[in-house]
Amino acid sequence: MNTVKVSFLIIFQCLVFLFFGINFPGEDPTFLKTTAKDVKNVIFQSVDYGNTWQDISNGLPANLENTELFVNNNGLFYYTEKEMYHRNANVLSPGWKKEYAVNKLGSVSVCKSGMYAVTYDGKISKFDPKTKAWSPIFANFGRSMLRTIFETQKNTFLIGSDSGLYRSIDGGKTWKHVIDGWSIKMVESNGVLVATSQKGIIRSTDDGQTWKTVISEGGVGIDVAIIKGGFAAISYNTTSKTRRVRTSYDDGKTWQAIDAGLPPHDLIANVLQVDDYLFVGHPKGIYKSEDKGKNWALISPAIDDKVFNLYVSGKAIYAFPRTGGC
84-88 and 75-79 beta bridge pairing: antiparallel
pLDDT level of residue 293 (50, 70, 90 thresholds): very high
Q: Which residues of 7-19 are buried (b: 16+ CB within 10 A; e: fewer)?
A: eeeeeeeeebbee
Question: Given a cut of 60, is residue 26 above it in pLDDT?
Answer: no
92-102: per-residue pLDDT in tens? 667 899 988 77
For the residues 199-213, what does the mean pLDDT come to? 98
- Determine which of 232-246, 274-288, 305-319 has the lowest per-residue pLDDT on average: 305-319
The bridge status of strand 242-248 relative to strand 230-237 is antiparallel
The whole-number pLDDT of residue 47 equals: 92
Report the C-alpha gap between 88 and 116 in whole angstroms.
20
According to the model, what pLDDT value does residue 20 have? Answer: 38
pLDDT in tens, 236-255: 999 999 999 999 999 999 99
Of 50, 58, 32, the closest CA to residue 319 belongs to: 50
How far is the C-alpha of 324 from the C-alpha of 250, rounded, in Å? Answer: 32
End-to-end CA distance of the chain: 54
Note whether 283 and 318 are within 8 A (CB). no
Q: Which one, of 74, 101, 73, 68, lies nearest residue 86 by Cα?
A: 74
pTM, rounded to two decimals: 0.86
Helix boundaries (H) for 54-134: none
* pLDDT beyond 80 at 281: yes
**Residue-level pLDDT at 90:** 67
Per the CB < 8 A criterion, the answer to whether 281 and 270 are in contact is yes
All residues at 6 or more sequence positions from 278 whose CB lies less than 8 Å from its CB, including other chains = 227, 232, 258, 271, 272, 288, 289, 292, 293
SS3 146: strand
What is the number of alpha carbons within 13 Å of residue 326 lying toward its C-beta?
21
pLDDT of residue 326: 56
Mean local confidence (pLDDT), 171-190: 96
Q: What pLDDT does 119 receive?
A: 94
C-alpha 122/C-alpha 145 separation (Å) is 6
Whether pLDDT at 33 is above 90: no
